Amino acid sequence: MKRSLAYIFICGLMFVSCADDQDDNVNGYTATPLELEIPPLFAEKILPPVIPEDNPQTVEGVALGRKLFFDKKLSADNTLACAGCHSQANAFTDPRQFSIGIDGIAGTRNSMPLFNVAWNYNELFFWDGRATSVENQALAPVTDPIEMHNTWSQVATTLQSDARYPVMFEDAFGTQSIDSVLVTKAIAQFIRTLISGNSKFDRYLAGTEELSPSELSGLNIFLDENRGDCFHCHGNPNNPLWTDNIFHNNGLDEFHEDRGRGGVTGDPREFGTFKTPSLRNLEYTAPYMHDGRFATIDEVINHYSEGLVYSETIDPLMKKVDEGGVGLTPEEKADLKAFLLTLSDPEFISNPDFQDPN
């Protein structure tokens, strides 16, 4: 009896292990598995990236997602690709304060840089966290009336009649039948490959490069509760993401026209809170904040130093709010900025794997 139970177990285990080897593809088709290139520091310090079981990374899926990301065919009038508001030179955000959709209408939020999104453990995307996976997120821009203003059935028809797409979907997912689920799966696979982990600061941690005295002083200000105290939200040298991916009100406004996270949850305690952005690649991602109100890093630092504005949901970590902030000296500000700029990863914005394949 016991032996036969054990056999059943083993068979079950074998079955499970076989099932795990398969992709979630139609007809049991298997594309070529592709490991994410995880920077050594990430592998050492933080938890592994989040990759949904039903959308494993594959060579064919990433190639397809990359083509789609750069393809204007996703928009109703063939004029705007994802890349139109997420450009590589800007670490995949938009240098304009508000992106313009195909009908010439501007949005009300600044675009967001795209890197290391697979390490967003909470899987809440957009400034307000309203999308619950990269796959879900990619559904939105296509149909958003002020972005690509298309319909998913139109997208499917367009791609279906293309000379190359049906074959590429076949290669990636084992079917030529194109729909929103497969399009967003492919795009999400491509976005997960957008990994930035080779900045001067990363090399400093790896022991291969030195920081200047000003940059080191800036790091200390960043970590010092008395002065910057940035690390409680934006991370520290043990967390290469440089964000907590949590929602806070960092003292921008007295009144919140844009309720941010609170607009999604309906919870007044979250009105005016937005997702903390990563501080990597700031050199390329201006303008800053959810509404792109600050054109320079100096303006951001001035905000935290003397521009804080009280509102009910302001985060308790904001200090001396009645005086506008802790009041950094000009030298401290310069050092803090010098440190922030060590988080730039020039390799990321020139990586040929992330360029337009079309």
| Footprint of ligand HEC (CB under 6 A) | 74, 80, 82, 84-86, 99, 101, 107, 109, 111-112, 114, 117, 125-128, 134, 137-138, 141-142, 147-148, 187, 191, 228-230, 232-234, 248, 250, 252, 274, 276-277, 279, 282, 285, 288-290, 300-301, 304, 315, 317, 336
The answer to whether the CB of 243 falls within 8 A of the CB of 279 is yes
Strands (E), the chain: 247-248, 274-275
Name which of ligand HEC, other proteins, none residue 246 binds, using a CB cut-off of 5 to 8 Å depending on partner kind. Answer: other proteins
Is 304 among the residues that bind other proteins (CB under 8 A)? no
Residue 322 in the binding site for other proteins (CB under 8 A): yes
State the angle between helix axes of 152-160 and 165-173 in degrees (0 to 180), rounded to the nearest 10.
100
Taking the least distance from each CB to other proteins, the nearer of 94 and 229 is 229
The separation between CA 61 and the C-alpha centre of its own chain, rounded to angstroms, equals: 19
User: Quick count: other Cβ atoms within 10 Å of Cβ 298?
Assistant: 13
Using CB under 8 A as the binding rule, whether residue 28 contacts other proteins is answered as no
When binding is defined by CB under 8 A, the residue of 133, 160, 214, 239 that contacts other proteins is 239
> CA 221 → CA 21, 209, 324, 333, distances in Å?
48, 20, 18, 9
Q: 85 vs 2, 119, 120, 269, CA distance in Å?
A: 62, 22, 21, 31
Identify the CA nearest to 288 among candidates 124, 113, 140: 113
Determine contact, residues 287/110, Cβ cutoff 8 Å: yes
121 lines the binding site for other proteins (CB under 8 A): yes
Per CB under 8 A, 313 contacts other proteins: yes
Per-residue x/- marks for other proteins, 35-64, CB under 8 A?
Answer: ----------xxx-----------------
End-to-end CA distance of the chain: 62
The binder of 282, among other proteins, ligand HEC, none, by C-beta within 5 to 8 A per type, is ligand HEC
46 binds, among ligand HEC, other proteins, none (CB under 5 to 8 A by kind): other proteins
237 binds other proteins (CB under 8 A): yes
Question: DSSP characters for 120-134?
Answer: -TT--BSTT--B-SH
Site of interaction with other proteins (CB under 8 A): 2-3, 5-6, 9-10, 13-14, 16-17, 20-21, 45-47, 121, 220, 223-226, 229, 231-239, 241, 243-246, 269, 276, 313-319, 321-322
